[in-house]
Each structure stands twice: as structure tokens, then as C-alpha cells.
């Protein structure tokens, strides 16, 4: 499409700086490492964001940093204006959010996009495909309790549009939610069950610990984590139009 790749790593701060100097703006989506030891991930992310921010300082160019809606408090419907939960399951992303937004008053059009935990599309990977693989392995498609806990989702094509809009016109200091809908875990489990021809079953929290691949995943699948994106939609004119999660979830 006419772009020139410029490869590097988050540890190579000099290379990040040179890339940012030549760019019209920066979209930072890189993250990863050993989640059992989050401190190196947090430090690497913060250092990269601060390198980008210092390079763009005073230019008015955009810096868009990616986070996730699981930073928000569980059990309540959170908006873009609510504070993240420092004790939550994704608290390790908060440091990066704050590092980015600190540049909003330093001549950088800094914004944060919090993506839904499920960004779905063809050849998806992550939380929902793990539910599918667990159902295949165990012969049941499971949810925890009554399955009424809500799970945010967005189609990857709608997420891509949001990132473009954020780069083009998000005001400095904006926090944006990349969420098209909140879907109950029971409806997800039942859709998987129909596709695989297996029963959908309710598990107690104790049973979930033995059923899912890890205690962490059992906790995640029991979370009620709804968020809204009304402010994002109004601010940027973002309107998700692509397939919803249950429509996109075709398994066999």
C-alpha cells in the first residue's frame, strides 16, 4: 500500500526516537512479555511511551497509546470518564495510560484507546477462541454461575476505524473506549455450544477453576466487565457497523 516498514523493538529507544521524528504521528500497540512478572513489561512500555512523547513534544502531533477496558472496575458499567482500578486484573496497563496522557499538556495530541478484551474477526485469537478450544477439549461449553456477566467486544474493522479517527482528530488528553457491545458470557457459551454440538453448562466458581486452562482464566470468565463508549462515539463520530460478536462467532 506504499508504506515503508521500519523495524525495531521496544527496548531500542534510539530507534523508536528516530522513527517518531520522521512520523506524522505515533500509534503505539506493542505490548507483551511474561505476565507472571509484569514489572519488566510495565517498565518497557512506559519507557517506549515516554520516548515517543518526548520526541513529539511541542509538535502538536498525535500519540495514540493502546490499553484495555479490563483496567476498569469490575461489576459496574464504566465510561471513559471513570477512573481505572489500580487493583484490577489489568492494572499493569494503567502506568502506560498515565505516561501517555502526561504529554497532553506538553504539546502532544496524546490519547488512549482502551480496546475491548475481545477484538474479533477471522482467525481471531485470545479469550473467546480459548473458550472454543476448552469446549472442544472437555465436551461442554461452560459459563460461570448464571452467565449474566457481561463481556465487551468490538469487530477488528471497527477498531481499526477508531484508531484512524483517534490519530486524525482525538483532542489531547482523550480517553476512548473501543467497545461496540457488551455480551453475556452465557450467550457466548450457548453460541459455541450450538456450533460444536455440545451442551452449554453452568459451573460454580470452584468447578470453573478445574475446567478452564488456569485460575486466572476462570476468574476472567466470571468477571462482569461492561463498559460504554458513548463519549467516544460522540467525540469522534465513531459508529461500529461490522459484524457483532455472536454473528462473527462461527465454530464447528
Give dist(CA 241, CA 125) in Å, integer.
Answer: 21
pLDDT of residue 251: 63
- List pLDDT tens digits, range 126-161: 899 999 999 999 999 999 999 999 999 999 999 999
Entry pTM: 0.95
CA atoms within 13 A on the CB side of 69: 32
pLDDT tens column, 16-73: 999 999 999 999 999 988 878 899 999 999 999 999 999 999 999 999 999 999 999 9
249 pLDDT band (50/70/90 cuts)?
confident
How far apart CA 128 and CA 46 sit, in angstroms, is 29
Partners of 112 in beta bridges: 65, 175
Query: Checking DSSP bridges between strand 141-144 and strand 200-203, what pairing results, if any?
Result: parallel
Res 224: pLDDT = 97
Q: Yes or no: say if 144 and 205 are a contact pair by the CB < 8 Å rule.
A: yes
Q: Is the pLDDT of residue 90 over 80?
A: yes
Whole-angstrom distance, CA of residue 157 vs CA of residue 230: 18
Q: Which domains does the chain have, with CATH numbers?
A: 13-120+153-180+226-242 (3.40.50.720)
Amino acid at each position: 500500500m506504499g508504506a515503508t516498514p521500519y523495524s525495531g523493538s521496544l527496548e531500542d529507544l534510539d530507534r523508536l526516537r528516530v522513527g517518531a521524528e520522521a512520523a506524522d504521528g505515533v500509534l503505539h500497540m506493542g505490548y507483551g512479555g511474561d505476565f507472571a512478572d509484569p514489572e519488566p513489561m510495565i517498565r518497557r512500555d512506559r519507557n517506549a511511551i515516554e520516548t515517543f512523547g518526548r520526541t513529539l513534544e511541542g509538535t502538536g502531533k498525535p500519540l495514540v497509546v493502546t490499553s484495555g477496558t479490563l483496567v476498569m472496575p469490575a461489576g459496574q458499567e464504566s465510561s471513559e470518564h471513570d477512573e481505572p482500578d489500580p487493583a484490577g486484573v489489568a492494572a499493569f496497563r494503567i502506568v502506560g495510560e498515565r505516561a501517555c496522557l502526561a504529554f497532553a499538556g506538553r504539546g502532544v495530541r496524546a490519547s488512549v484507546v482502551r480496546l475491548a478484551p475481545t477484538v474479533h474477526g477471522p482467525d481471531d485469537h485470545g479469550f473467546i477462541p480459548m473458550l472454543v478450544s476448552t469446549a472442544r477439549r472437555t465436551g461442554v461449553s461452560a459459563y460461570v454461575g448464571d452467565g449474566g456477566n457481561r463481556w465487551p467486544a468490538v469487530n477488528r474493522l471497527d477498531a481499526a476505524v477508531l484508531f484512524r479517527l483517534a490519530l486524525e482528530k482525538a483532542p489531547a488528553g482523550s480517553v476512548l473506549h473501543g467497545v461496540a457491545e457488551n455480551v453475556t458470557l452465557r450467550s457466548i457459551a450457548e453460541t459455541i455450544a450450538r456450533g460444536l454440538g455440545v451442551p452449554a453448562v453452568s459451573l460454580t466458581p470452584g468447578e470453573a477453576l478445574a475446567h478452564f486452562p488456569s485460575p486466572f482464566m476462570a476468574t476472567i470468565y466470571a468477571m462482569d466487565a461492561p463498559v460504554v463508549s458513548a463519549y467516544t462515539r460522540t467525540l469522534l463520530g465513531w459508529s461500529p457497523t461490522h459484524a457483532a460478536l455472536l454473528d462473527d462467532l462461527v465454530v464447528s
